[in-house]
Structure 1
Amino acid sequence: MLGLIITIIIVGAIAGFLARAIVPGRQAMSIPMTILLGIVGSFVGGLLGYLIFHSGNGFLQPAGIIGSVIGAIIVLLIYTRVGARSRA
C-alpha cells in the first residue's frame, strides 16, 4: 500500500512538471499543487483510457506516465481558463 502511494506521488510529480512545461504561459503553482495536478491528471488520463479503449479495472483508475501527462495537460488548461475567468 505504501509503495502504491509513493508511486502515485512520483508519477504525479513527473506528470505535473511535464504538463507545466508543455502548457505555455506562467502558472503560479507550488510544488505540492504541481504534484496534485499530476495525480488528478493521472486519474483523468485513466478515465479517458477507459472511455476510449474500454479496458482496465474500472472507471476510476490511475494511468501510466503518458496518460498522466495528457490528463494533467487537460486539467491544467481547464484550471488556467477557469482561474483567468474568475480573476477578470
Structure 2
Amino acid sequence: MIGAIVSAVVIGAIVGALARLLVPGKQNMSIGLTLIVGIVAALLGTLIAQMLGWADTKGIDWIEHILQLVLAVVGVLIVARMTPGRTGGSGRTMT
C-alpha cells in the first residue's frame, strides 16, 4: 500500500512535468497542481491499462506509461485553461 502511494507520487511527478513540457505555451499552474494532475493521470492510466489487459507485463509497461502521459497532457490542457493568470483575472474585460 505505501509502495503504491510512493510509486504514484514519483510517477505522477515525472508524468506531470513531462506533460507540462509537451504542452506548448505558458501554463499558469503551480508545481503542486502539476503534481496533482500527474498523480491523477498516473492512477487513471494504470486503472485503464489494467482493465484493458495492457499492464503487468514482464519488464517496463510502455503502453501504460504512454497512456499516463497522454492523460497528463489532457489534464494539463484542461487545468491550464481553467486556471486564471497570475494577475487573478481570466484576461477578459467586462464591457
Q: TM-score, normalised by structure 1?
A: 0.69
Match of 1:55?
53
Report if the CA contact (8 A) 2:29-2:83 is conserved.
no
**Structure 2 residue identity aligned to 1:65:** H
- Distance, in Å, in 2 between the alignment partners of 1:41 and 1:77 is 12
Match of 1:68?
68
Q: Tell me how many residue pairs correspond in the alignment.
A: 80
Gaps of 5+ in 2: 56-62
Indicate the structure with greater helix content.
Answer: 1
RMSD: 2.8
Runs of 4 or more consecutive aligned structure 1 residues displaced over 4 Å after TM superposition: 46-51
Match of 1:60?
none
Provide the identity percentage. Answer: 35
Output one character per residue of 1:39-77: Cα deviation in whole Å (capped at 9) or x when no partner: 1222443465478xx3369xxxxx832221110001111
Match of 1:10?
10
- Distance, in Å, in 1 between the alignment partners of 2:39 and 2:82 is 19
Output one character per residue of 1:2-32: Cα deviation in whole Å (capped at 9) or x when no partner: 1110000000000000000000111122222
